[in-house]
């Protein structure tokens, strides 16, 4: 058998105070899609950064086509044929697709770059990928999926033989994911090896050939996809048996609490009306850009609505700013925790206290002691894993960050809690804990709105589903035992 | 402990500078004034017997008067002072000759400067009489109380402006107009005193009201900048650059391009007066303002809000922070503090001129940055800024004492600012963990 495309052996990497990787082995063959899975903090990102040359390993070797090479910098990585597509793209939005592809390696003629040669080369690359993108379109104007294609073309332009994709599907719609898979199959057929990092298990079973599982900085196992099922894979990832992905629900929704009527904002939200009952989890389903997040932001006062009324327990609320929503005990867990939910450079305690300072202060002075006692309670009850309350929010894993954001609103004892993509970027174990918390909140009689792009999550958690498309509500599914992913998708794509 | 070092690591830079300049300015010191008199008095009591007749010699001037008064107080009831002579060598010689005709003189006590008069050893009638003066000792010029007060006096205006700038920078903003606001307030206050409160004959109340009005004017300009920033999302850099021109132009117009010096003596109370011992009133005010600002930033809801806005504006807004109101208030406070800086400057110089405060915005920003506040917002400490301001002042003062030219001083200062920011960047990246370093050593 030929030497593998890539063979990483005994990779060890320590950071101050943390052993991120302990003797990890990984092999990738030509024309293979290898899934790299594991909970957050398992070491996947570090391993990828070692491969790409962003981190130097303390020990271990990397061999490409059987030949051991030192990868000391991202340039070495590129020269060894490694192309990495990070979750946050490395594209300059003000430049065109063509300019981005050839950034730093412009095709020149007589010292000047040749637009025509680059244009032709870009077209050829897009043809290889199998997707037509206008090379002269500004990257800032392209959709997320198109930008991803540009990234792939950029990797191919330097003759990458190994392409690493870090959570490529996280921000894609189902159709776009399908197109991405087509691209991946095309690359496979050209003999390129792909490392696919994802939390979405169904995708792994659809596109990958083999899976390599990491836990706590070590490789805990490898399997051929055909030989393994979903439960076994989850078990490998979390290191214990998970009986269920979703906790059982036993609440009976009561009277109507939140009633939204005729919400409008430009073309993003059009005439949206619905209600959420006591103890009910209402899911908002739909594609990215269908207006779900926008609706939530209108209810929370984060954006100004053109028209519409919001009423809680029969009382019409005047919500123009988040402050007013918060004063009326509405809480929002944003989809992007890092950009909108937390102040990463501040301590957990300060983050927790921010919307609650009215209760934690006297005459404008903050009572830190009260904060500590209150937050201490949540650290315990929500099982937030942190060395101390003074830890910076940016140092926590996604699941624990989400718990801190949740604690902010629990302290206020919010009546309405909106979860926007509550488990995005959160590992399997922590997901379950978040689900349990959501159920507990519902059991306390709160009205819960959950926005999610993960259909199994919607089917597993919701009491009722509202599907949106292009800013409008296109359907409601309330017969949950018989609901299917197909029913949701039909309403979502129209 | 660890946190303290991480937050105030710059205090070590200040200490190092202090030690460096102390070493460079190590010099022979001759005790003068009251302290010289005290030292000499003790020396005389120790070295002489009770019956001796003592003549005290000194020049004219306040310092020498303090010397003789203190010496007389030290010797009162213990020794007999037959005469205290102030004046030139000629005066002294006449008086001593006269005294020698009346009786013997056993000891001449004099200031260090007087002890070097040639006549003391050359005149036959004096050569027999022992001469005592305070003994010289070694001490750095840098660490002399006068010099340290001088440093504080020099930096007080920049330090006051830097409080407001720290708040602005913590919200991830910047204010380039503070130097011009300083000039505007200085001119406005003196203009009002001259034209509305009676000029040199103005009463205290009138002066205070005029100063408050000038501060209010600067605060209003700050508020306007804040309104432009929050209302129209114009970058603070641009807004305050424009206001820098506006405020400066207004100051020149109001003053007609001239200095205004028709102010009463009481106007200098803040800048030159000393109500508490020998510490200038402006320095006392500065310390008070720093304490208030520190408490505000570390203990109050407002402080939390300011840090939160700089750390992540959107997250703060979605957590119910009244973002716009807080930013407006920060720019208003910054304007008011710049105005106060103008009053202090005008009071120090007892006049108002539109040329005050030129380039101050850069020194103020430098002090804030050297003090460890991040230009990215969300992080920074009030006392860090005070340390930053003092680092700049100490470097300038130390270079003055060691004879570095003022042009070269700018070069050095520029590199110091760069070094401070570099240090901060390395610390943030974790390449250099000052906190850890010192914590492990002090543990």
Q: What ipTM score was computed for the predicted complex, to two decimals?
A: 0.76
Q: How many helices (H) and strands (E) does chain A have?
A: 16, 24
CB contact under 8 A, B315 and A340: yes
pLDDT grade, residue B57 (50/70/90)?
Answer: confident
Nearest residue, CB atoms, A323 vs list B300, B302, B322: B322
Q: Collapsing DSSP states into helix, strand and coil, what is residue B370?
A: helix
Is A304 touching B (CB cutoff 8 A)? no
Look up the CATH architecture of domain B33-135.
Answer: 3-Layer(aba) Sandwich (3.40)
Nearest residue, CB atoms, A302 vs list B300, B318, B321: B318
Residue B325 CB contacts under 8 Å (≥ 6 apart), including other chains: none
Residue A80 CB contacts under 8 Å (≥ 6 apart), including other chains: A62, A64, A69, A71
H or E, element range at A440: helix A428-443
Report chain B residues whose CB lies below 8 A from the CB of A364: 300-302
Q: For residues A298 and A280, what is the distance between their CA atoms, to the nearest angstrom?
A: 20
Is A353 touching B (CB cutoff 8 A)? yes
- Residue B438: per-residue pLDDT: 44
Nearest residue, CB atoms, B301 vs list A339, A345, A366: A366
Q: For residues B158 and B393, what is the distance between their CA atoms, to the nearest angstrom?
A: 9
- Residue A202: per-residue pLDDT: 84
CB contact under 8 A, B314 and A339: yes
Q: For residues A450 and A436, what is the distance between their CA atoms, to the nearest angstrom?
A: 14
Dihedral pair phi/psi, residue A22, rounded to 5°: -125, 105
CA distance A342 to chain B (A): 6
Give residue-wise pLDDT tens across range B318-362. 999 999 999 999 999 999 999 999 999 999 999 999 999 999 999
| pLDDT reading at B436 higher than 60 | no
Is A365 touching B (CB cutoff 8 A)? yes
CB contacts < 8 A, A to B, total 72
- Residue A139: per-residue pLDDT: 86
Chain B residue with minimum CA distance to A360: B301
Domain boundaries, chain B: 33-135, 143-442
Residue A216 backbone zone (phi > 0: left; psi -120 to 50: alpha; other: beta): left
Give the Cβ contact number of residue B375 at 10 Å.
Answer: 16
| pLDDT reading at B442 higher than 50 | no
Report chain A residues whose CB lies below 8 A from the CB of B427: none
- Cβ burial A404-414 (10 Å sphere, 16+ → b, else e): bbbbbbbbbeb
Judged by CB atoms within 8 Å, which residues 262-301 of A form the interface with B?
A: 300
CB contact under 8 A, B321 and A354: yes
Six token digits for residue B336: 């008011």
Report chain B residues whose CB lies below 8 A from the CB of A365: 299-301
- Residue B95: per-residue pLDDT: 81
- Residue A17: per-residue pLDDT: 58
DSSP 8-state secondary structure symbol assigned to residue A338: I
- What's the whole-number mean pLDDT along residues B5-15? 74
Give the Cβ contact number of residue A115 at 10 Å.
Answer: 16
Look up the CATH architecture of domain B143-442.
Answer: Orthogonal Bundle (1.10)
| pLDDT reading at B140 higher than 50 | yes
- What's the whole-number mean pLDDT along residues B382-403? 90
Is A439 touching B (CB cutoff 8 A)? no
Least confident residue range of A229-243, B124-138, B340-354, B381-395: A229-243
- Residue B218: per-residue pLDDT: 97
- What's the whole-number mean pLDDT along residues A212-223? 87
Report chain A residues whose CB lies below 8 A from the CB of B292: none
Chain B residue with minimum CA distance to A325: B320
Residue of B315, B322, B379 for testing the chain A interface, max A β-carbons within 10 Å: B315
Q: Which residue, A196, A108, A106, is CA-closest to A158?
A: A106
Residues in chain B whose Cβ is within 8 Å of chain A:
299-305, 307-308, 311-312, 314-322, 378-379, 430
Report chain B residues whose CB lies below 8 A from the CB of A353: 304
Is A9 touching B (CB cutoff 8 A)? no
Report chain A residues whose CB lies below 8 A from the CB of B311: 343-346
Report chain A residues whose CB lies below 8 A from the CB of B308: 343, 346, 350, 354
CA distance B156 to chain A (A): 28
Give the CA count within 13 Å in the CB-facing half-sphere of B25: 24
Report chain B residues whose CB lies below 8 A from the CB of A342: 312, 315
Chain B residue with minimum CA distance to A405: B319
| pLDDT reading at A247 higher than 90 | no
- Residue A40: per-residue pLDDT: 65
Q: For residues A57 and A77, what is the distance between their CA atoms, to the nearest angstrom?
A: 13
Mean residue pLDDT across chain B: 86
Q: Collapsing DSSP states into helix, strand and coil, what is residue A210?
A: strand
Is A110 touching B (CB cutoff 8 A)? no
Six token digits for residue A390: 């003074």
Residue of B319, B374, B424 for testing the chain A interface, max A β-carbons within 10 Å: B319
Residue of A300, A322, A353 for testing the chain B interface, max B β-carbons within 10 Å: A322
Chain A residue with minimum CA distance to B296: A365
H or E, element range at B147: helix B145-170
Chain B residue with minimum CA distance to A346: B311
Q: For residues B231 and B227, what is the distance between their CA atoms, to the nearest angstrom?
A: 5
- Residue B193: per-residue pLDDT: 93
Nearest residue, CB atoms, B315 vs list A326, A342, A364: A342
Chain B residue with minimum CA distance to A350: B304
DSSP 8-state secondary structure symbol assigned to residue A444: T
All structural domains of chain A: 6-238 (3.40.50.300), 256-493 (3.40.50.300)
DSSP 8-state secondary structure symbol assigned to residue A181: H
Residue of A18, A357, A390 for testing the chain B interface, max B β-carbons within 10 Å: A357
Report chain A residues whose CB lies below 8 A from the CB of B430: 16
| pLDDT reading at B431 higher than 70 | no
Does residue A386 or residue B313 have the better pLDDT?
A: B313
| pLDDT reading at A250 higher than 90 | no
Give residue-wise pLDDT tens across range A108-166. 767 777 788 888 888 888 888 878 888 898 888 888 788 888 888 888 888 889 999 98
């Amino acid at each position: 058998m030929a030497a593998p495309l890539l063979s990483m052996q005994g990779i060890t990497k320590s950071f101050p105070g943390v052993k991120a990787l302990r003797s990890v082995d990984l092999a990738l063959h030509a024309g293979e899609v290898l899934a790299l899975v594991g909970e957050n903090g398992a070491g996947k990102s570090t391993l990828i950064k070692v491969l790409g040359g962003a981190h130097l390993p303390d020990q271990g070797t990397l061999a490409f086509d059987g030949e051991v090479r030192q990868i000391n910098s991202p340039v070495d990585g590129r020269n060894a044929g490694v192309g990495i597509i990070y979750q946050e793209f490395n594209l300059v939005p003000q430049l065109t697709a063509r300019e981005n592809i050839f950034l730093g390696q412009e095709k020149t003629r007589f010292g000047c770059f040749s637009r025509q040669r680059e244009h032709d080369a870009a077209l050829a690359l897009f043809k290889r990928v199998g997707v037509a993108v206008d090379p002269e379109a500004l990257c800032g104007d392209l959709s997320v999926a198109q930008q991803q294609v540009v990234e792939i073309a950029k990797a191919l332009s330097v003759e990458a033989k190994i392409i690493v994709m870090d959570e490529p599907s996280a921000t894609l719609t189902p159709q776009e994911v399908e197109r991405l898979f087509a691209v991946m199959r095309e690359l496979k057929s050209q003999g390129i090896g792909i490392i696919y990092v994802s939390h979405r298990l169904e995708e792994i079973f659809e596109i990958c050939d083999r899976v390599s599982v990491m836990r706590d900085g070590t490789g805990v196992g490898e399997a051929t996809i055909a030989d393994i099922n979903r439960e076994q894979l989850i078990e490998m990832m979390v290191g214990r048996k998970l009986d269920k992905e979703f906790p059982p629900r036993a609440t009976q929704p009561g009277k109507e609490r939140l009633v939204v009527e005729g919400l409008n904002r430009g073309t993003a939200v059009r005439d949206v009306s619905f209600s959420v009952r006591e103890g009910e989890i209402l899911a908002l389903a739909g594609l990215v850009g269908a207006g779900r997040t926008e609706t939530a932001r209108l209810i929370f006062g984060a954006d100004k609505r053109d028209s519409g009324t919001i009423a809680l327990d029969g009382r019409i609320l005047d919500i123009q700013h988040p402050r007013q929503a918060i004063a009326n005990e509405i809480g929002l867990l944003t989809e992007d925790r890092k950009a909108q939910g937390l102040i990463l450079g501040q301590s957990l305690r300060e983050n927790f206290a921010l919307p609650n300072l009215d209760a934690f202060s006297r005459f404008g002075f903050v009572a830190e002691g009260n904060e500590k006692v209150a937050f201490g309670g949540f650290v315990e009850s929500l099982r937030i894993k942190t060395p101390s309350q003074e830890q910076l929010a940016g140092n926590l894993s996604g699941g624990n960050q989400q718990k801190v954001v949740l604690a902010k609103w629990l302290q206020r004892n919010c009546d309405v809690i909106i979860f926007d993509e509550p488990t995005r970027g959160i590992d399997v174990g922590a997901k379950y804990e978040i689900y349990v918390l959501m159920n507990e909140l519902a059991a306390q009689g709160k009205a819960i709105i959950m926005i999610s792009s993960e259909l199994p999550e919607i089917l597993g958690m919701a009491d009722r589903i509202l599907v949106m498309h292009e800013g409008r509500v296109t359907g409601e599914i309330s017969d949950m035992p018989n609901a299917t992913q197909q029913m949701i998708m039909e309403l979502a794509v129209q | 402990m660890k946190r303290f070092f991480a937050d105030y690591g710059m205090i070590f830079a200040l200490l190092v500078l202090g030690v460096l300049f102390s070493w460079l300015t190590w010099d022979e010191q001759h005790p003068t004034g009251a302290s010289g008199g005290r030292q000499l008095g003790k020396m005389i009591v120790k070295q002489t017997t009770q019956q001796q007749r003592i003549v005290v010699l000194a020049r004219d001037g306040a310092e020498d008067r303090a010397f003789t008064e203190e010496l007389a107080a030290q010797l009162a009831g213990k020794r007999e002072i037959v005469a205290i002579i102030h004046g030139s060598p000629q005066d002294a010689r006449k008086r001593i000759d006269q005294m020698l005709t009346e009786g013997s003189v056993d000891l001449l006590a004099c200031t260090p400067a007087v002890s070097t008069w040639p006549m003391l050893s050359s005149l036959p009638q004096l050569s027999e009489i022992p001469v005592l003066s305070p003994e010289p000792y070694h001490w750095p010029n840098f660490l002399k109380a006068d010099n340290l007060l001088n440093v504080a006096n020099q930096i007080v205006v920049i330090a006051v402006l830097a409080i407001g700038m720290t708040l602005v920078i913590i919200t991830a903003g910047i204010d380039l107009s503070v130097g011009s606001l300083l000039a505007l307030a200085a001119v406005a206050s003196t203009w009002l005193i001259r034209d509305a409160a009676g000029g040199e004959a103005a009463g205290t109340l009138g002066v205070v009201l005029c100063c408050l009005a000038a501060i209010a004017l600067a605060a209003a300009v700050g508020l306007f900048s804040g309104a432009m920033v929050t209302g129209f999302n114009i970058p603070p850099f641009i807004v305050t650059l424009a206001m820098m021109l506006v405020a400066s132009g207004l100051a020149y117009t109001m003053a007609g391009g001239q200095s205004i010096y028709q102010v009463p003596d009481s106007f200098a109370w803040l800048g030159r007066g000393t109500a508490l011992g020998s510490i200038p009133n402006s320095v006392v005010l500065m310390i008070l303002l720093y304490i208030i600002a520190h408490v505000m930033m570390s203990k109050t809801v407002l402080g939390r809000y300011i840090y939160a806005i700089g750390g992540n504006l959107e997250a703060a807004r979605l957590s119910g922070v009244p973002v716009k109101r807080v930013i407006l208030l920060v720019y208003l406070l910054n304007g008011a503090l710049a105005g106060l800086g103008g009053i202090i400057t005008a009071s120090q110089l007892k006049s108002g001129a539109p040329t005050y405060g030129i380039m101050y915005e850069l020194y103020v920003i430098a002090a804030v940055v050297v003090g460890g506040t991040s230009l990215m917002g969300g992080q920074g400490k009030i006392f860090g800024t005070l340390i930053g301001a003092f680092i700049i002042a100490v470097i300038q003062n130390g270079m003055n004492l060691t004879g570095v030219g003022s042009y070269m001083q700018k070069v050095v200062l520029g590199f110091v600012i760069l070094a401070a920011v570099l240090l901060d960047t390395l610390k943030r990246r974790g390449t250099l963990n000052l906190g850890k370093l010192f914590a492990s050593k002090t543990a």
